[in-house]
Structure 1
Amino acid sequence: MRSPSRIDAHHHVWELARRPHRWLEDPALAPVRADCTPAAYAVEAAAAGVSGAVLVQVLHDPAETREFLAVAAAWPLVAGVVGWADLAAPDLAGELDALAAAPGGGRLAGLRHLAFADPDPRWLGRDDVRRGLALLGRRGLAYDLVIGPHQLPLAAATARALPGVAFVLDHLGNPPVGNGDPRPWADGLRELARLPNVTCKLSGLARPGRDAALLRPYAEVALDAFGPDRLMYGSDWPLCLLGGSYAAWAGTVDALIATLSPDERAAVLHRTATAVYHLT
């Protein structure tokens, strides 16, 4: 990987003919209801000065994870993959071994489960899930938390119980931007940030009408809670296109961290992601 200027810690790709993405049937997602390929991502990311990226799972499908590892093997820009495996499965260790042995397996950086959509609201607190999380910690793999604000206390309890696991909170924990009382989210975020094994992505907030001024109060809560050394930039491409363009989101993040020192900006833009995901 080249000397980093910007590491994108969170992006996706998909080809609609390969497997169904029913979540894209939401009318609000019509602008991204199309093939979003590694080649298309690479063009936009390169224009924004991205020198490495983390490709993140979309579906609970082990075949997708293998395909993403193959993408990483073929595209040097993809420095890491956050995939999916069933954390509660008795054979999780075998699945992790198989992923590591697959083409691109050396780029496996972590796993993620769409906990915000799981039918079990206590999924993160289950003993079998926590056993799987503990195994990730022993393997040196991170775990991405994609949750709603109401799940932040459970996430904190889980991270507290598993200090050997590196947890990464996606999208600032999905604050209610311009829609509801932000105080429960802020309180939950601060509780989670007290745990040193948790970092946070400044990602996933690009939507129509959201500019730096609107997002600044939420970013400031995260900066105060985590500090720059535990925050990382992510585009959430192609979903960032809902708010404009890749360049627009990169510019929004730059505006949100403009008052930080050069060293602090470097932490957000590349150093934190490189360390947490063991990118090389």
Structure 2
Amino acid sequence: MSGAPPRRPTRSAPVVDAHHHLWDLSVRDQDWITGPDMAPIRRDFGIADLAPEARAAGVGATVLVQTVTVADETPEFLALADRNELIAGVVGWTDLTAPGIADTLAALRELPGGDKLVGIRHQVQGEPDPQWLLRPDVRYGLAAVADAGLAYDLIVLPHQLPAATAVAALLPQLTFVLDHLGKPPVASGALDPWAAHIRALAARPNVVCKLSGLVTEAKWDSWTADTLRPYTETVLDAFGSARLMFGSDWPVCRLAASYAEVVDVTRTLTADLSDNERRAVFGATATAAYGL
């Protein structure tokens, strides 16, 4: 990163928010939203809630990401995207281990909004086997995702990053998108072994990374830009701006920060990049990786 004085980021190009969620608790419970600490987000969040906040921050397109391992959610999200121009892409869920995954993906593409299906994600962070991504049935499913022209979002914990690196090497034809920097231990301030794992993963050219989710990995009531800076600088050094994309992680981010605060701190943390580098982080990388 340059030692030159920070330049004010340009707002001329619309921002792509490459990671947010929506849910309606009357349609489906979000059983991960439990306990008093999570109470601020235990309510419905719809596109009407997101749109004004996103547009106020200069966001012109978003990627809606799955929240639960329920097959019905993906068609619902595609239908929502079909009705809303703001949602440019959907990262859905389907069972990677199902023998008929190729047919399932093809069927999803035929649904209303199916042209906005850009990726698949599974909550690997909840799998007890740290080698889950390397299981033969999972690798078969990931190959089907690649054959369908889709990306695969990695939602993993730091100890699962080595398996992510290994599977990315085995499937060079698949674009892997690392969510939330692999959930580094921001609250403790530790860097390794997370940083070493990140550098190994970034050595795979078919992996890109979302600059997202940091505020909720930090201490919710006391984070600052300086708290987040070591982790941002690590991924900037490892991936480069051309393989980094901004994501708000709204509404989960509301546990620690507003939408505007997440956008602002990300602009602060990338303020000394060139205009072209910031354009990559705030739009071009997501557009290329997801084919928006």
TM-score, normalization: structure 2?
0.93
| Counterpart AA for 2:291 | H
**How far off is 1:180 after superposition?**
6.0
* Alignment correspondent of 1:268: 281
Conserved 8 A contact 1:54-1:82:
yes
Please say if 1:255 is aligned against 2:264. no
Determine the C-alpha separation between the residues in 1 that align with 2:223 and 2:14.
Answer: 25
| Counterpart AA for 1:83 | G
**How far off is 1:62 after superposition?**
1.2
- How many residues are aligned here? 277
- Structure 1 runs not aligned, ≥5 long: none
Alignment of 1:81-160 (within 5 A): 81-160=90-169
The one-character-per-residue Cα deviations of 1:148-190 (angstroms, maximum 9, x if unpaired) are: 0001111000001100000000001100003263210000000
Q: Over aligned residue pairs, what C-alpha RMSD do you find?
A: 1.1
Conserved 8 A contact 2:102-2:148:
no
TM-score, normalization: structure 1?
0.97
The counterpart of 1:52, out of the listed 43, 53, 61, is 61
Conserved 8 A contact 2:22-2:251:
yes
Determine the C-alpha separation between the residues in 2 that align with 1:121 and 1:261.
Answer: 38
Conserved 8 A contact 1:81-1:107:
yes
Determine the C-alpha separation between the residues in 1 that align with 2:120 and 2:277.
Answer: 27
Conserved 8 A contact 2:91-2:121:
yes
Determine the C-alpha separation between the residues in 2 that align with 1:269 and 1:222.
Answer: 15
| Counterpart AA for 1:139 | A
The one-character-per-residue Cα deviations of 1:198-252 (angstroms, maximum 9, x if unpaired) are: 0000001123222211000000000000000000000000011112210000000
Determine the C-alpha separation between the residues in 2 that align with 1:169 and 1:226.
Answer: 11
Q: Name the SS for the 1:200 alignment partner.
A: strand
* Alignment correspondent of 2:5: none
Determine the C-alpha separation between the residues in 2 that align with 1:119 and 1:4.
Answer: 42
**How far off is 1:267 after superposition?**
0.4
* Alignment correspondent of 1:183: 192
- Structure 2 runs not aligned, ≥5 long: 1-11
Determine the C-alpha separation between the residues in 2 that align with 1:81 and 1:196.
Answer: 23
Structure 1 ranges of 4+ moved more than 6 A: none
Determine the C-alpha separation between the residues in 2 that align with 1:60 and 1:121.
Answer: 19
* Alignment correspondent of 2:246: 233
Q: Name the SS for the 1:25 alignment partner.
A: coil
